[in-house]
Structure 1
């Protein structure tokens, strides 16, 4: 495989057509080498428009979803970021290259350890990896940006409250097959704006918050 040609094709044929035009994001996708974060058995899928299984029920997002989330969050060099679901560490690496500090929480210790190895091999040091169940809440700190890498039927209210004023939250909300990618911005202490960006369908977070459902 010609990796650079495959990377170029991924950007030009998948990502740009999905309205990802932020030059910072496009340049980052050239620099952070996605194929080095993919499980060895799935190397051939590194640039394909598909989710890649990581084990333990987790998956890497498609390349265009990763890029679209980055563009929506509009990260700045001074931002602090909370990522729920480290996975292979690829999205973590992208976030870390754009922001000042990333806290990334993974429920599976084995995946967190793999993410740590991947990030270390790319000399990315501004990431704090933690192991735990953060599907509904994590800590008390406030962040400039939060991203949930698995879907959730109901968005946990705790994450809205952990945004700084001006902070952005990217989450995929709903049940399969009709989930919505949403960007929630905290515009004031008690005011939030929600934008629906697109529809998609991704693997849910384990122990995600469930709505009250009627039982007949």
Structure 2
């Protein structure tokens, strides 16, 4: 393995495409059971998708190429985003938009973040001194599982992901997605993300998908020495949100600001 590991191989099964009607004479034939050879031939054709559907790697690679053109340079992250089928995490009616750089509704007034926002936040994590030294994100705490897409990406870049969601319906939705896709190294918790998840602390990397007035103190307490936290918080002028990047060193915390963002409000409690 190089100094930056390639994404670990989760099993993301491809969806089967559909076949159009066969050409030939219009013969009405009642056939309750298809001949075995014909069924085997068609099954083999279905098992090898043409590459034009949403289940194809080239579709995801076009998204990755756009991210690279926009300045994302973390190759392990780009490889991970090329593996994870984003269309599997959104409603089927919105699947055609899954690889555009747009947020999409996932229910309960929540959204799946834009690919560019997911990429930039995880890249900030990867730029931390500890992650660069390890070659991976280590033990990750995610606040706000949502539909599970970002957790699936993080799972390719870490030794473990602990993801907390306060909305039970979304927690259950993400669990179905991640189970169906057999995403490894990922555990979901239904709970109050403002409290982090103390039982498995400390974490090498912490990332949040909701923003409050400031970062909860318990998140900082659960960050390991040498770790990095990336989360949105209210900007100094109070007019919006910015990414806040916090590193924890032996002597304490250092804090810097990143890009302007717009996330749902950080709330306490469960629902």
CA distance in 1, matches of 2:169, 2:265: 19
**Matched length:** 206
1:178 equivalent to 2:240? Answer yes
Aligned to 2:158: 99
TM-score, L = length of structure 2: 0.70
1:67 equivalent to 2:145? Answer no
Aligned to 2:25: none
1:9 equivalent to 2:51? Answer no
CA distance in 2, matches of 1:16, 1:151: 26
1:156 equivalent to 2:216? Answer yes
User: Shift in Å at residue 131 of structure 1?
Assistant: 0.5
Aligned to 2:79: 27
- Which of 138, 159, 168 is 2:228 aligned to? 168
Change over 3 Å in CA distance of 1:39–1:135 after alignment to 2: farther
Which blocks of at least 5 consecutive residues in structure 1 are unaligned?
209-216
Q: Tell me if structure 2 keeps the 8 A contact 1:177–1:201.
A: no
Aligned to 2:147: 88
Which blocks of at least 5 consecutive residues in structure 2 are unaligned?
1-51
CA distance in 2, matches of 1:183, 1:92: 19
1:138 equivalent to 2:197? Answer yes
CA distance in 2, matches of 1:136, 1:156: 8
TM-score, L = length of structure 1: 0.86
For residues 107-156 of structure 1, the C-alpha deviation after alignment (integer angstroms, 9 at most, x for no partner) is: 11121111111111221231111101212543252100111111222111
User: Shift in Å at residue 12 of structure 1?
Assistant: 2.4
User: Shift in Å at residue 44 of structure 1?
Assistant: 2.1
- Which of 156, 165, 169 is 1:110 aligned to? 169
Looking at secondary structure, tell me which structure has more strand per residue. Answer: 1
